[in-house]
Amino acid sequence: MRRNSSVVVVVLALVMVVASCSGGRGGSSNPKIPTVFSNYHLSGAISPVRDPSVIRFNNTYYAFSTDTGAPVSGSLPILCSQDRVAWACCGSVFGQIPQWVVKSVPGVLGLWAPDISYFNGLYHVYYAGSTFGSNTSVIGLATNTTLDQTDPNYQWIDQGEILGSNSTDDFNAIDPNILVDSGSVWLTFGSYWTGIKQRQIDPVTGGLLSSNPTVYSLAYRPNAQYDPIEGSSLVHKDSYYYLFVSFDDCCNPNPYQDTYRIMVGRGTSPNGPFVDMNGADLMQGGAAQLLAGDDVTWSGPGGQTAYVDAVNGDIVVFHAIHLPDGTPYLFCNSLTWTNGWPQIQP
């Protein structure tokens, strides 16, 4: 999330008045509302939630999300569900923001956009520290041997900084996402500036792979002011790699002005190029729209993570802003595939 620095105080003031484990629901029976919104049926600790990432461990789904400023005990809150419908609070990664992040990013108020993955016998949460409108940012890593809090070995270990950016860089080191693909691990990241980037990860250490210093460029909007693209999620499904991104802006004090929308492109390599249904290159602003707000009950769907689940079916998690109150809600929807392209279902 880049977010406009001028709105940070207003946004935080808004979300802090919302209880972190409320059981309220959004939605409407208005027939003009798209099915994905009008059939909203999640319950439990579903707001305020931004930028969720999900994984299944045994029979439980775990969703990790951004610090919203609401009265949550800890940093990087975790939600749990057995059925992908009813969600409950089940802790957080950190008790507080790590001190190295505080020192590296002056003024940091919370950690953003955690991404959960599993490789080399460990669960990995990559997370971002930044401030609104700035690319003085860091991506950090925390690891755990299990997601079961009843296990005596349950403990999140902070591994420190993986990647950073500053005002002299042409990229922003936030919104991390991991793809584990046939033994190779890829970190996709980026927000505004020159778009979505990628680095290869050492599968043993979880850090950048020193033998491959290449920075891959995956998506860019050269004809859009400020290049409003972020929140990437890369998955491998059948013959293609799919890059999901969020276009446009989030987190405005007026929720009707949240213009986030979920877009996608595909390619035959994890490093791109990626194109949309019409063959337009994502490096030239191309992408197929999967979901936009309805401006009636929901605005700004985005911050998405796609999750390929061979056991219970593929899903996509994202947030959308409930209108008119401006509360960000968790969505967890089925992801189906038609003619090689994803579709978000109720």
DSSP secondary structure, 198-264, as one string: EEEE-TTTSSB-TT----EEEE--TTSTT--EEEEEEEEETTEEEEEEEES----SSGGG---EEEE
Confidence check: pLDDT of 233 > 90? yes
Give residue 280's pLDDT. 98
Q: Can you read off the two tokens belonging to residue 226?
A: 């400020």
Confidence check: pLDDT of 248 > 50? yes
d(CA 72, CA 89): 9
User: Which of 148, 152, 140 is CA-nearest to residue 98?
Assistant: 140
What are the pLDDT digits (tens) for 135-193? Answer: 999 999 999 999 999 999 999 999 999 999 999 999 999 999 999 998 899 999 999 99
Give residue 332's pLDDT. 98
Give residue 8's pLDDT. 37
Confidence check: pLDDT of 28 > 50? no
Length, in residues, of the chain: 346
Range(s) of the domain holding residue 313? 5-344
Which residues carry out catalysis?
A: 51, 230
User: What DSSP string runs through 9-30?
Assistant: HHHHHHHTTS-TT---------
What are the pLDDT digits (tens) for 178-204? Answer: 999 988 999 999 999 999 999 999 999
Mean of the per-residue pLDDT values of the chain? 91
Number of independent structural domains in the chain: 1
Question: Does residue 16 or residue 176 have the better pLDDT?
Answer: 176
Tokens 């279902």 sit on residue: 345
| Mean pLDDT, range 50-77, rounded to an integer | 90
Tell me the backbone φ, ψ of residue 28, rounded to 5 degrees: -165, 155
Give residue 34's pLDDT. 80
Half-sphere exposure of 127 (CA within 13 A, CB side): 29
d(CA 81, CA 90): 10
Give residue 32's pLDDT. 56
| Mean pLDDT, range 258-280, rounded to an integer | 98
d(CA 85, CA 177): 24
Q: For the domain that residue 149 is a member of, what is the CATH number?
A: 2.115.10.20
| Mean pLDDT, range 301-320, rounded to an integer | 97
Confidence (pTM): 0.92
| Mean pLDDT, range 263-274, rounded to an integer | 98
Confidence check: pLDDT of 25 > 50? no
What are the pLDDT digits (tens) for 85-126? Answer: 999 999 999 999 999 999 999 999 999 999 999 999 999 999
Pairing of strands 43-44, 86-94: parallel
Which band of pLDDT confidence, cut at 50, 70 and 90, is reported for residue 68?
confident
With 0-12 / 13-18 / 19 or more C-beta atoms within 10 angstroms meaning exposed / middle / buried, residue 54 is buried
Tell me which of 7-21, 179-193, 256-270 is least confident: 7-21
Confidence check: pLDDT of 1 > 70? no
